[in-house]
Structure 1
Amino acid sequence: MLLNEQQRVSYGDNQGSFAWLRFRPALAWTSILGLVLIVALAILAGVGSLLRLLYPAGVTAVGLLLYLRYPLLYIGFTWWIWFLTPLVRRLIDQQSGWQDPSLVLLAPPLVTLISAVTLIRHLPGAHRQGGLPFILCFSSVFYGFLIGLVQNSLAGTIVALLNWLPPLLFGFHLFAHWQQYPVYRYTIQRTFLWGVLVMGGYGVWQYLVAPDWDRFWLTNAVDTNVFGYAEPLGIRVWSTMNSPQPFAAVMMAGLILLLSNRESLKFAATGVGYLSFLLSLARSGWLSWVAGLMLYMPSLKSHLQVRLLITLMSMALVVVPLASMEPLASEIAPRLESLSNTQEDGSYQARLEGYNELLGEAFTEGIGRGLGVVVESEYLGSHDSGILTMLFSLGWMGTIPYATGMFLIFFQLFQGAEARFDTFASAARAIAFGIFAQIGLNVSMVGVVGMVLWGFLGVGLAASRYYAHRSA
């Protein structure tokens, strides 16, 4: 694909880590930096409460400008809003008082919903362009929404839709623009490189220091010590996210992408990234990383496998000594050991009890209870099982097309040969598979975890179509 001059400015010709420091195009970066400045000044001036409406409105306005004028920057901006908004919410709440639910958290789904324009534009011909799997999944989500309007509260159903729909829209947006796959690949790699560095660095600092806003949030949001204790060296790291599991999902994706990144900055990102990833104590995230890595490595050509092994050994030399130091080792080691001793793992046993209690009932859900239904169990939390959530929310009527659409995408990703020579395409497939593999442990289709799943399914499918078109 040939890029015209305007696209070269928008997409970025320079492949270096610091290419964005040129701040071009000017209008786009003026809007982004203006939003950052307004947020920073409001917090520093002690008037953070104004941001509860201003922040989501500003994010949506900037996102709309980027979507219409600078599509590549829209992709990166959207990811960063998902990465950082929970931290912005905590800073505001610590100043202006606890508020739950918080309007600030509307910013990520709102900026992602802008990509619904892509769905409207491409829907008429989507099935001819390979978009049938997405159509099946969209139909299931809207089916669940309609059932939810009848059976559940209006507010609960709308909130659930804002969790289910944006990741799917974002994945379709990436797929529909498959012609721009090379530049989308670049911006996602760059975004996650800096994302791992920033979120990983903050996560380590959060563990060591326990800043006031994180302690305030932990005290108000969580009734138990499931996220650790509001004190230095006591927090179970969630970094800039809302909880350890979503943070681990994003870090898992970023850390796998680092394996194919050639920038020198990746070694700093690796150190803080893996440390914070381990300090999240999110075993489902660790298992996702292992599953993704096991799929990623064999898919590459032999010379790329050798390069990957060298990269892994280099990263181990950075991470292992750090993770072996106290007090980090005393936090991480017991959690790792629990993976091989499930009989004494209370969380694992509770999940088994929850499945025994609810699975039979879930299998009888023909129509489903609609989006917004809350899976209630003494043993399982509302976010502890994607399988149960899907069956209760969508019923078999919605689950079958949703699962079929997802299966068709994975089938196409495993059929293509691009993963043999394109390390990013291989990584995207591995990341999506790793996130999907935890569906029995987490609701991996919604929220920021769903963004990782559907984002990499979408860009992986875009890679498949791009290379198929090029070889035709």
Structure 2
Amino acid sequence: MQIRSSRAATKSFNFGLKPAPAWMAILGFTLFSALCLVVKAGLLRIAFPGGAFLVGLFLYGRYPLLYLGFTWWIAFLSPWVRRMVDYSSGWVDPSTILLAPFLVMLVTLATLVRSLPRATRQGGLPFILAFVGVIYGFLVGLIKYPPTAVVVPMLNWFTPILFGFHLFVNWRSYPSYRQSLERIFLWGVLVSGAYGVYQYLVAPQWDRFWLVNSKAIAFGTPEPLGIRVFSIMNSPGPFATVMLAGLMLLLSGKGKLRFFASGVGYLSFLLSLVRSAWLGWGVAMLTFLPSLKPKLQMRLVVTIVVMALCIIPLANLDPFADTIGARLQSLTNTKGDVSYSQRSEGYAATLSLALSQFLGQGLGFVLEGTSLGSNDSGILSMFFSLGWFGTIPYLGGIILLLFSLFQSVDIRADTFASAARAISLGVFAQIGLGSVTLALSGVVFWGFAGMALAASQYHRYQRLTALQSG
């Protein structure tokens, strides 16, 4: 009787969520964080990154698929949790809460250690080259700056590559990883897109509080219809990059929910006003469509037409039309565009200086004395931080990675793999306008490049196995 009662209690707790131990850890962490937000939010400044790391460590070792989902959602939600904590307990900058995604991804260091000896032979050379470039910049930074000034930049550069490498190395699990990522980004686009529209229309108090204290003038004004949408993420740029990836995946997915997700997703994507991401989406689309077989191309065109019928009327409604229209016009008319002028002036003032960096300034370097911010150009960031010594292996690894993806003929019938490849190129195409290979944007770039390379490896293995058996 006691055994049956225990089993019944466990079954009722599961709610169909299996495996139970993994979901107990995830839900326990979620409920604890929610309780802290209500009772004592400041406690999360330590408990959130620490708890996320412990849950990530547990999932990595026993439930790799749930580890994948947990990692992406921690990356999506950590900035929003930070804003809620600061709104409740006072402004703190920098915030330890933002370390949570890095700590969760740092767990995959075990994958690197375990797989490094054979990684080069299996196609992992691009990741190894990128690691070499970043480690060089890290060592230079340690020589020039205090360790505390180098740690966070190192995490920004290193962990996205580490995560992408982890996805690539586990190519044998590609089908289950693919299915998991499709589900993650369907709900990611739906949740962050819907919140983005809400943020634009309402301007919640915690978002206003963050805008005022962070002095992020470029993100709009802290009032309804005045915010450049960044949704649950930290700024419009990373948010737009995540949406670019999610919206591309929705084109290759199935189910009616993706059309609703596309509606709020594209609307918030446009309200982010990130022109570089819009151009990146265009590059991704031009890459994606020709890479498919004719039958898949026709299905994709039908999907695009249906989505357009949902999105265009929304974008032309009064609260959105003026904001989006003015930004779209600036793509062809740069006169009077302050952002464009600042970038042009910044490049003119710093490009020659960046290209003269033989040894580099190391990770932790902050670009000052120019209208161009440290994160406004991935090219400048690379040369200043890594110098020629570090940039050659780092950029060489990226170019070799993209070249490898476009050499593969085995993924033509796999719409997800074709979308992943297009996403990687669409993100990288923005490198002159932002540090898109770092932090959350970098997780998107390296993560989907890793998945596309894993798909190529998996399909090649399947083809060779079929030939041998035949």
Shorter-chain TM range is: over 0.9
In the other structure, the counterpart of 2:207 is: 214
In the other structure, the counterpart of 1:390 is: 382
**Match runs of 1:283-432 below 5 Å:** 283-432=275-424
1:188-227 per-position Cα deviation (integer Å, ceiling 9, x unaligned): 1110000000000111111111111111111101252x11
What residue identity is the alignment partner of 1:30? M
What residue identity is the alignment partner of 1:247? F
- Cα distance, 1:41 vs structure 2: 1.2
Distance 1:43 1:393 in 2: 37
Any gaps of 5 or more consecutive residues in structure 2?
Answer: 1-13, 465-470
In the other structure, the counterpart of 2:10 is: none
Distance 1:110 1:443 in 2: 20
In the other structure, the counterpart of 2:454 is: 462
What residue identity is the alignment partner of 1:203? G
- Whether 2:57 is the aligned partner of 1:64: answer yes
Change (3 A) 1:376 1:21: farther
What residue identity is the alignment partner of 2:247? L
Aligned partners of 2:411 and 2:459 also within 8 Å: no
- Whether 2:23 is the aligned partner of 1:29: answer yes
The alignment covers a number of residue pairs equal to 451
In the other structure, the counterpart of 1:54 is: 47
- Whether 2:103 is the aligned partner of 1:114: answer no
Identity rate of aligned residues, in percent?
A: 57
In the other structure, the counterpart of 1:266 is: 258
Residue aligned with 1:233, SS: coil
1:119-143 per-position Cα deviation (integer Å, ceiling 9, x unaligned): 0000111111111111111111111
What residue identity is the alignment partner of 1:44? V
Distance 1:81 1:377 in 2: 35
Distance 2:145 2:128 in 1: 25
- Cα distance, 1:377 vs structure 2: 3.9
Of 149, 168, 176 in structure 2, the residue corresponding to residue 183 of structure 1 is: 176
| Segment drifting more, 32-41 vs 148-157 | 148-157
- Whether 2:139 is the aligned partner of 1:146: answer yes
Change (3 A) 1:302 1:430: same
What residue identity is the alignment partner of 2:81? V
Aligned partners of 1:196 and 1:254 also within 8 Å: yes
Any gaps of 5 or more consecutive residues in structure 1?
Answer: 1-19
In the other structure, the counterpart of 1:41 is: 35
1:145-177 per-position Cα deviation (integer Å, ceiling 9, x unaligned): 000001123212111101001100000000000
Distance 2:275 2:18 in 1: 40
Aligned partners of 1:418 and 1:425 also within 8 Å: no
Residue aligned with 1:292, SS: helix
What residue identity is the alignment partner of 1:305? Q
What residue identity is the alignment partner of 1:209? V
| Segment drifting more, 412-421 vs 164-173 | 412-421
Normalized against structure 1, the TM-score is what? 0.94
In the other structure, the counterpart of 1:253 is: 245
Normalized against structure 2, the TM-score is what? 0.94
In the other structure, the counterpart of 1:7 is: none
Residue aligned with 1:309, SS: helix
In the other structure, the counterpart of 1:125 is: 118
1:85-125 per-position Cα deviation (integer Å, ceiling 9, x unaligned): 10000111100000000011110100000011000000111
Distance 2:112 2:368 in 1: 34
1:56-90 per-position Cα deviation (integer Å, ceiling 9, x unaligned): 11101110110000001111110000000100001
1:296-319 per-position Cα deviation (integer Å, ceiling 9, x unaligned): 001111111111111111001111
Aligned partners of 1:418 and 1:426 also within 8 Å: no
Distance 1:345 1:313 in 2: 32
Aligned partners of 1:167 and 1:451 also within 8 Å: yes
Distance 1:108 1:311 in 2: 33
In the other structure, the counterpart of 1:443 is: 435
Residue aligned with 1:343, SS: coil
Residue aligned with 2:433, SS: coil
Change (3 A) 1:21 1:339: farther
Residue aligned with 1:419, SS: coil
Distance 1:377 1:170 in 2: 34
Aligned partners of 1:76 and 1:187 also within 8 Å: yes
Aligned partners of 2:361 and 2:384 also within 8 Å: yes
Distance 1:398 1:348 in 2: 29
Residue aligned with 2:221, SS: coil
What residue identity is the alignment partner of 1:215? R
Residue aligned with 1:342, SS: coil
- Cα distance, 1:42 vs structure 2: 1.3
